[in-house]
Amino acid sequence: MVVICTLPQLIKIIRTRQVRDISLPFWILMTAGLLFQLPYAASIKDPVYCTGVALSFCFSLITLLFVWRLK
């Protein structure tokens, strides 16, 4: 569920090229939190969890870059 929760926002940003109402601090914190979660996910050696965290991090990072660039 966490993996796909960022996709609607990312798709809307890509389609509309508008980030006026998007919170930059939220996406910074979200991306940082997922970045810190990656080593833990790798250490427990659960491929499903690791893949989910990695995908969530990628989607969040892409969204953050769009928000940063378009604001």
Cα 34–Cα 12–Cα 9 angle in degrees, nearest 5: 25
Query: Do the beta carbons of residue 55 and residue 1 sit within 8 Å?
Result: no
Residue spans of the domains in the chain: they are 24-71
Q: What is the pLDDT of residues 38-70, one digit of tens each?
A: 999 999 999 999 999 999 999 999 999 999 998
Predicted local confidence at residue 43, as pLDDT: 95
Query: Any idea which residue has 């660039």 for tokens?
Result: 69
Q: Is 11 exposed, middle or buried (0-12, 13-18, 19+ CB in 10 A)?
A: exposed
Predicted local confidence at residue 4, as pLDDT: 86
